[in-house]
């Protein structure tokens, strides 16, 4: 089985951001926009200098805090 397929049904969004090869790059525009919204909803300050991996982790945390649910599939 290939390394990519080791986790059955795992998509890119389900992989640990710490293992992303581009995780240390600046967050994407979509991440920035969504994270800004989540920060406003939860009263957190928005840090525009986050990496892709750090933004992804913070989005997960703030989604839970704000009551927003991730859609599966």
Q: Is the pTM of this model over 0.75?
A: no
- For residue 6, pLDDT beyond 70: no
Each residue's pLDDT tens digit, 13-57:
578 998 999 999 999 999 999 999 999 999 999 999 999 999 999
The better pLDDT of the pair 40, 72 is held by: 40
In a domain, 15, yes or no: no
- For residue 9, pLDDT beyond 50: no
In a domain, 8, yes or no: no
Contact criterion met (CB below 8 Å) for 70 and 63? yes
Dihedrals phi, psi of 51, to nearest 5 degrees: -80, 170
pLDDT given at position 15: 85
Residues β-bridged to residue 51: 26
In a domain, 11, yes or no: no
Contact criterion met (CB below 8 Å) for 46 and 35? yes
In a domain, 61, yes or no: yes
Domain count, the chain: 1
In a domain, 12, yes or no: no
In a domain, 63, yes or no: yes
């Amino acid at each position: 089985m290939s390394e990519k397929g080791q986790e059955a049904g795992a998509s890119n969004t389900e992989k640990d951001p710490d293992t992303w090869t581009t995780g240390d790059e600046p967050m994407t525009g979509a991440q920035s926009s969504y994270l800004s919204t989540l920060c406003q909803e939860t009263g957190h300050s928005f840090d525009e200098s986050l990496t892709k991996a750090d933004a992804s982790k913070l989005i997960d945390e703030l989604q839970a805090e704000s009551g927003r649910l991730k859609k599966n599939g």
